[in-house]
Amino acid sequence: MDDPAEASAPRTVGGYRLVRSLGRGGFGEVFLGEAGDGSRAAVKVLHASWSGDADMRRRFAAEVEQARRVSGFCIAAILDADPEAEQPWIATEFIDGPTLQRAVAEEGPRRGMELQRLAVNTATALAAIHAAGVVHRDLKPDNIMLAADGPRVIDFGIARAVETTSVTASGVVGTIGYMAPEQLEGARLTSAVDVFSWGAVMVYAATGREAFQAPTQASRIARILSGGPDLEDIAEPLRSVVERCLDKDPDRRPDASSLLNLLIAGPQGGGPAPGVAVHPAPVPVSGVDPTRVAPAHGVDPTRVAPVHGVDPTRVVPSHGVDPTRVAPAHGVDPTRVAPPHGVDPTRVAPPHGVDPTRSYTGLAPAGPAAPAAAGTATPPPGPVSAPRPGPGNTGASGYHTGVGGVPPYHFAGIRFTDPGALAEAMQGNWAAAVRVFGDATERAALGAWLMDDLGDTLVDRSLFRRHADDANLALASFIAQTRPDLPPVFRGRGATMTDLGGLFSDPRPVITGAPMSNEMALLARPEVLRTMGLHHAPDPAAHQRLADSLDAAEHAGNTFHQELSGRLAGWRSASPNVNPALILTFLLHPELMVPPHDGGDSGVGEWIDILWRRVDASPGPAGVGHAAAIYGAVPTLQALSRQRRYWEERYTKVATEHESLHGKVVQQQRYFQIRRYCNYALFGFPIGIVIGMSGQAEWLGDLLVTLSVLALAASVVLSVVLRVGYGDVVRRGQRVMELNNAAAQLPELTSGVERIRADLVHARRITGG
């Protein structure tokens, strides 16, 4: 149930009269404000919970002052602010138009030049914001307004002001779906987070869906951290630019100025574009890339020496060969560099007599390996997996090793011929390994080595043949299938039942939204737990049972929320927030499953008491799910409590005013009527005089004269009483209007209060209380 519109006189903040609410967010509520000269502004009044934080006020004042220096194009300029007010507020330019979020939802994705203008204007705004030393940190479609003269970025400079204050205990600053990986992991943040968010915003603008779309919050986080964005429907050249902005590594993203140059230059295809540094691949042993042509003396080794007048970026052709290719030796496939002694220097030298196009596959026959040809790159030194004792000289995973013709796989500079040893190394260097599984080309190369070269039959082929939305889970699955004897690990953290019990021993990170909660959310997924259960353990089914309980609890929690939102008027707009990490905490530590704190709000406490009866009545995973649903609904309970106080206080005030005004108005109207009758009685005075002078019925004339005199006196007295006790004519008329206004409000307020009380009654029935 939303708060009603203000029924009393409009509230004033600073020099702005607040006309109506425009929306409510995590930091405060935005109103349409009108200044004395009739100009309009968007006035954001920050939540009252900020008022007691002196450090926040200091930071907010500094950030607002810094934000004032941002150039006014492509942004909603800051007009005024007061961090020292009872409730801090900030007034910005009012943009009369929809948000990008609403426009795309109602009208569909942006296309063509409209999308290009949106990209350039928002990148320009970012460049201006960053040039002033401000980081937005919550750039999203809801913070981009589509004005008649172009898009504007709003709400910059506020998220940074509150990020390090105590009020951020309610959650991490930002919006999942548009947050950079380093934001989700609680790392040091730079302006690169805004560039990542810009890329995600452009995906939404162009496609109508999030770049890292997934059904649950945990899976969205996982995909942002290790999966690839969905850029399928974005056309070039924007696609290449967006892809660079969504790089996991903030150092590889362009800054805002380079981003703007990219958009203006309009790069074609997926090649390097102006203004973006291309990071070279690691230099192999001996310092020479064996895939490149040796340069002439003194020539830049990254380029082939040009012929006079020839484009220096192209290789000089020979004998009619396509000049875009390296000139081959006679009779050699012109698409490949001629190897010395007939061996491709980019591949492992095959045994003598083996078809060089097959030497890298499992089709190559066994035989003694040929010595490396002169000039061929030598594999870097490193441990080679030692074979386990057993027939056939097999390695840790049962694969034949040490036999001629088996090609190696290089990971993190180490040469591997046994998948089991590779899996163990990947588990120990998770960050490097997840980059392999997060890159489609690298993942396919690993799959080709396993399936084609080694003839693997153990690992699920889908890990390499399908798009991996969650590279962490794909990596964990590969390790579990290849080396189930290893202890379970996920994202570098131990995932035995004991490890999980330690990690999920404190619900506070989940409740407050601390960065650790994202890590816990990634682990608290049934599919992850089932994958961890593939490892050997004292109780092989423990992870499976925990995953099943998590599934059942999450389903029960969501069902409970749907029941409340379907039957209670105040819950209809509430979104479900059943946190699997909190469920896992309660499953592993039932003693921690206690009702949430009401924060000293008796209204919240009443709701918690009513809802918690369902927890007490539901044993096992269902009760845990209900508890998590109640914790997730605390913001809804706080809103309901505020609304209840508002409606009841407003009802009490209006009802009291109505009763008081009604008594006064009735009395004032009674005196006014009496005075009117007295004024009518004054007409008896001349009539009495006439009758008395006629000599007939003198007593009647005297009576009329006496009554007239008394009426005159009464009229004077009543005029004084009305003036002193009830004000002048204008005030008495205003009192009647106030009574009519109160009478008009009472039905709506009465209905609102009754709906709120009815929700409490229905909630008691739902929970059996």
Binding residues for ATP: 44
Task: Tell whether the torsion through CA atoms of 745, 751, 755 and 757 is positive or negative.
Answer: positive
424's tokens: 């163990």
Q: Tokens 């040490």 correspond to what residue? A: 402
Is-catalytic flag, 539? no
Interstrand relation of 16-24 and 12-13 (parallel, antiparallel or unpaired): antiparallel
H/E element, 153: strand 150-153
CA distance 358 to 289: 23
Describe the crossing of helices 602-616 and 729-767 by its angle, rounded to 10 degrees.
Answer: 20
Does residue 581 contact residue 504 with C-beta atoms inside 8 Å?
Answer: yes
CA distance 559 to 556: 5
18's tokens: 């607040």
Does residue 745 contact residue 7 with C-beta atoms inside 8 Å?
Answer: yes
Residue 375 CB coordination number (10 Å): 14
In degrees to the nearest 10, what's the CA dihedral of 480, 483, 484, 488? -60
CA 425, distance to chain mean position in Å, is: 34
Amino acid of residue 113: M
Does residue 459 contact residue 478 with C-beta atoms inside 8 Å?
Answer: yes
674's tokens: 């009496």
Q: Tokens 């097959």 correspond to what residue? A: 358
SS3 367: coil
Q: What secondary structure, in 3-state letters, does 522-534 show?
A: HHCCHHHHHHHCC
222's tokens: 């996982």
Interstrand relation of 40-46 and 89-93 (parallel, antiparallel or unpaired): antiparallel
Does residue 229 contact residue 241 with C-beta atoms inside 8 Å?
Answer: no
* Rg, Å, the chain Cα set: 38
Among candidate residues 80, 138, 155, 418, the one labeled active-site is: 138
Q: Tokens 């980081």 correspond to what residue? A: 135
Residue 238 CB coordination number (10 Å): 22
SS3 330: coil
CA distance 764 to 745: 29
769's tokens: 């209380």
Does residue 81 contact residue 43 with C-beta atoms inside 8 Å?
Answer: no
Does residue 399 contact residue 419 with C-beta atoms inside 8 Å?
Answer: yes
CB environment 318-357: b (16+ within 10 A), e (fewer): eeeeeeeebbbeeeeebeebbbeeebbbeebbbeeebeee
Amino acid of residue 78: I
Task: Tell whether the torsion through CA atoms of 150, 151, 154 and 160 is positive or negative.
Answer: negative
The catalytic residue positions are 138
